[in-house]
Structure 1
Amino acid sequence: MKKVFLMAVISLGLLSCGGGQTEAQVGQYTTIEVQELYNAGSVAKGEIVEAEIKMKNTGDYPLVIAKISAACACTVSEYDQEPIQPGETTIIRASINTDETGNGVIRKPISVSANTRPSSTVIMIQATVLD
């Protein structure tokens, strides 16, 4: 009788853990749709380039952005740190202070690490800085 009771408790515990899968779990990879080049056009030296990049979760599991890193100190990025559910879109905001860049065409990469394959996606922000 004790064995039956113990098995029932273990089974109930396992079944209660497999609910609606709204949270991301280790090993769940998803896919994304993102514009990998953001062209800000021509800007004056000293202007702040503000980029808003849409990223859509096109997979079956929540998208978890682990980290966003920029190639230089002149780029700052903001992103939603909560999991993005399948079918939903998030915005990555990045800015480039052109006082800290050269003139002419600039290209600043932002690397997004997430639960995708490959795990890193590079988004390029481009602008032509005029003196």
Structure 2
Amino acid sequence: MRVRLKKLKPNFSFRIGSRLGVIFLFLSVSACNFSGSVKQEHKPSGNTVMTFDKTVHDFGTVSDDEDLGCRFTFVNSGSDILVISDVVAGCGCTAVEYSKKPLEPGQKGFLEVVFDPRGQAGFQRKNVRVFANIPDGSILIAIKANVN
């Protein structure tokens, strides 16, 4: 005896309904703040001072076949917590890494700058702007090189 199976049509209302449910869930989650804590904002203060060991590094005359790196160090020489909010390199040939945690007074931090001289020629000056809760809002750091 042969049994003939009936071909079922897809339930489009279920598919559409589940898609709408997923979209609704995504929008609901996006609208919520899951951090569970209020982010403490550190506004510029006359009592927050960022003192660098140097603000310019000169690599001298270099070839264009390898990356160059240097490390700037700084100290929070003020009496308030120092928070770096962003560090922006002025060129795509420059990469930065920096201390991301808030620094208590007296604590030290760093800023590492890596310069890729490939495709560059002659005198080069690359700027990096450090944004923090200091009175001026930011400080400019620079690297220099003469690329052969």
Provide the C-alpha distance between the structure 2 equivalents of 1:26 and 1:88, rounded to a whole number of angstroms.
Answer: 17
> Could you say if the C-alpha distance between residues 108 and 28 of structure 1 is closer, same or farther in structure 2, counting changes exceeding 3 Å?
closer
1:32 is aligned to 2:50: yes
Q: Which has the higher strand share?
A: 1
Larger Rg: 2
CA gap 1:74/1:28 in 2 versus in 1, 3 angstroms? closer
Aligned counterpart for 2:62 among listed residues 31, 40, 43 = 43
> Once the 2 structures are TM-superposed, how far is the Cα of residue 118 of structure 1 from its aligned partner?
0.2
Question: In the alignment, which residue of structure 2 is the partner of 1:55?
Answer: 74
Say how many residue pairs are matched. Answer: 106
State the shift of 1:61 in Å.
Answer: 1.0
Which secondary structure does the structure 2 equivalent of 1:73 belong to?
coil
| Unaligned 5+ runs, structure 1 | 1-23
Q: Which residue of 2 aligns with 1:129?
A: 147
8 A contact 2:71–2:113 mirrored in 1:
yes
In structure 2, the residue corresponding to 1:52 is in which secondary structure?
strand
Give the Cα–Cα distance (whole angstroms) in 2 for the partners of residues 49 and 103 of structure 1: 14
The TM-score normalised by the length of structure 2 is 0.67
Alignment of 1:12-91 (within 5 A): 26-27=42-43, 29=45, 30-34=48-52, 35-91=54-110
Identity %: 27
Match of 2:131 in 1: 113
Deviation at 1:27, TM superposition (A): 3.4
Kindly report the root-mean-square deviation, in angstroms, between the aligned alpha carbons of the 2 structures: 1.5
